[in-house]
Amino acid sequence: MEKAFLVLDDGTVFEGRSCGVSGEISGEVVFQTDVVGYQEVLTSPSYRGQIVALTYPLIGNYGVNSQDGESDGVHPRGLVLKEMSALYSNFRAEKSLPDYLREHGLVAVCGVDTRALAVHLRDHGEMKGLLSTGAKDPGKLQKQIKETPSAYDEDLVSQVTPAAAMLPREKKGPLVGVMDFGMRRGLIDQLESLGCSIARLPAFSKAEEVLKLKPGGILLSPGPGDPARPQGIVEEVKKMMAAGLPLLGIGLGHQFLGLAQGARVKKMHPGHHSGNQPVREAGQRQSRITAQSHSFVLEVPEEASCRVTHVNLNDNSVEGIQSKKDPGIFSVQFIPQRDENGCPDRVLQKFVECLK
């Protein structure tokens, strides 16, 4: 395998070997700490524009299948691993991870001390990086990365939202209008199991187009990037709030909902990219372990028209908000997931109970 380099914006160089397609890409470097779930990470639109370092030391040993993807595509720009397993063993597996990476044209590097990389990003903050399999002189890459724009300067939502509305063939239950900023299949499956019909709408749809469908409620989906970059979405969210329908924001949608109510957004140091983030709801004694993938977070001042409902127990960051005027308008930063018994997340259950 050919030599490869990951060069960070601060000049730090990590050397490894190519284990995907050859090439050179740039993106925001983040570390992801889950033990399993690499296929879900690769197919989650929230990772658009990023170079993802998986800190678990062996990746690929249970292969890839056609059932576990969160979308049809692969969204990170690059992948950084300690060790790639070309051999896999799982009764559901259909192909190896190396074959999957090559099939989707993903630049990847293995042989990197990903835990050292994670410590560096935790100490110095997430930053842009350049991943190259062809360069022989990392010094040239160090100069090149300084002139490379951040992926967060791009409107990443436009790259993952559907081009046209995706309406249900038949309405079997209350209709949920989803503002699709990068929707995940796992969320759709949970809502459908709760009896909902789903209408997925392009991210830049006007509020009147959404309301014309007469939904029982509106969901602002997760998605990638900086919520301050896409233009016009927050104003449309304000109009949707005024319609009096139940409204749930998740991930990026939570951030848009916060901005619409006077909250602010800041870049994290570092972000949350894992399935083990502890979150506690106000007034509750027990915490819950959540899945998250975001590099930006809300700050809620006293004068905002929403209140904080959930906080992260690691860094006290905002994990959920609710409108002070309408309790049916609320949001969470984490990704609702089925529990150990396969039941839909209680956040989604609460939303469905509010549907009109």
Q: What is the pLDDT of residues 246-283, one digit of tens each?
A: 999 999 999 999 999 999 999 999 999 999 999 999 99
Per-residue pLDDT, 171: 80
* Distance between CA atoms of residues 276 and 253, nearest Å: 21
Q: What is the pLDDT of residues 86-99, one digit of tens each?
A: 899 999 999 999 99
Per-residue pLDDT, 137: 85
**Residue 116 DSSP label:** H
Tokens, residue 252: 């990026």
Percent of the chain residues past pLDDT 70, beyond the cut: 100
* Distance between CA atoms of residues 343 and 329, nearest Å: 23
* Distance between CA atoms of residues 305 and 205, nearest Å: 24
For residue 150, pLDDT beyond 80: yes
* Distance between CA atoms of residues 110 and 6, nearest Å: 10
For residue 356, pLDDT beyond 80: no
Classify residue 329 by burial, with Cβ atoms within 10 Å: 0-12, 13-18, 19+: buried
What average pLDDT does this structure show over 162-180?
A: 93
Closest CA to 199 of 163, 166, 246, 151: 166
Classify residue 22 by burial, with Cβ atoms within 10 Å: 0-12, 13-18, 19+: exposed
* Distance between CA atoms of residues 78 and 29, nearest Å: 9
* Distance between CA atoms of residues 349 and 196, nearest Å: 11
Q: Which domains does the chain have, with CATH numbers?
A: 3-153 (3.50.30.20), 157-354 (3.40.50.880)
Which of the four pLDDT bands, split at 50, 70 and 90, describes residue 240?
Answer: very high
> Could you tell me if 84 and 98 are in contact, meaning their C-beta atoms sit under 8 angstroms apart?
yes
The bridge status of strand 197-202 relative to strand 24-32 is: unpaired
Which of the four pLDDT bands, split at 50, 70 and 90, describes residue 1?
Answer: confident
For residue 135, pLDDT beyond 80: no
For the chain, the average pLDDT equals 96
Q: What is the pLDDT of residues 12-34, one digit of tens each?
A: 999 999 999 999 999 999 999 99
